[in-house]
Structure 1
Amino acid sequence: MGERESITTDHHAARQQSSSGLRPWVTRAAERVLDTPYLKVRREEVLLPDGTLIPDYYIIENRGWVGIVPLTADGRFLLNRQYKHGIGLEVLEFPAGAIDPHEEDPLLTAHRELMEETGYSVAAEKIELLAHMYANPTGARTRIWWYLARDVAKTGEQKVDPREIIENLLVTPRELLALIHSGQFAVQGQIAAAYMALERLGYLRASF
């Protein structure tokens, strides 16, 4: 069991009253009930706007994640193929990873993860913020920063965790869309990033 603490709330988004007039929940107390290098879980006692008290609301905590949509100079997307034990399947996805404690800027994580998982790098002027998202806002305080990296080039070798076996492959924009529609590229936030990148790059046009 973690040490119990009295707090009002520790998440800036929860303190902000939305433009719709919805009132945030108030965190009365909290304790860390699981603390490992890979998973941290917090139990909170929260007070709802109508006065209802929930004594045991569980939230997954982390420092956030970064994803990179890498595009080579010849216009192909760089993907990872990797086994994910959570679902027991191989998945196709863009490079992504957790923000390390010493990385104050998510952009640092983007450069590191791209090199570690693929051996590719990107020039500082060729990477831009694509989107800022949340994953599972009901049960996790996880922010995700997505970057679009243009003209990535192979400049090194993978330096992955011993538990990771990652294969890299290059696909065209048309092939990426086909993978999404066939269900082979099926991770929720990754699909959102793919469509945003395709739109940013001019491959998709909205017709309202």
Structure 2
Amino acid sequence: MKAAVIVFPGSNCDRDLAVAFRAAGMDVTMVWHKDTGLPDGIDLVGIPGGFSFGDYLRCGAIAARSPICRAVVDHAHAGGYVLGICNGFQVLTETGLLPGALMRNAGLRFICKTTPLEVVTDQSDFTAGYGVGDTLNIPIAHHDGNYTAGADVLAKLSDEDRIAFRYRDNPNGSVGDIAGVLSSNRRVLGLMPHPERAAEDAQGSADGAAMFRALAGALADA
């Protein structure tokens, strides 16, 4: 089971994500944004949180044009797994791998707290370790986490069971309380909350650990 964690200037959760992957039994390689290809045999790509390129344009827009993102898109189109967290979710929407966009929080303030999430679907290798309706306590830390999409996209996401998580208290104004969405082949997940910051009891919650264990199990069985 081989995972790659992409590192951009301004990434600040890359090590956290690598630690969570390794704890689940994955062999992890850190990959710099200027690299043009992923290491051989990569099963899963993680795009971590942070403030890539300082978020000086639309969040994730510059990162999505980095050389490595062409390889990430190719990896996803070939059926590979991709997990984008916080800024990584923003990057995935900017590359077109996931629909919608992340806008400024409704309150126009940075939010950093643990928030309850509802598991909406267990029909993905990311969420198979949970039950539908489960409540997870997962940290958030973002200024631009307000998920938005057109009515047609929202209807498609709902009809295809591609909404992975919803906020129970909607801290940022996201349409439909959406906290995370899946790609059409269910192998790309983007979410604003940070499961890698809730992967062991010492962090105050271990509710995110089941995501990494489920992913590792799926990769081992592939």
Class of the TM-score when normalised by the shorter of the 2 chains: under 0.3
Which is strand-richer, 1 or 2?
1
- Using structure 2 for the length normalisation, give the TM-score: 0.22
Larger relative helix fraction: 2
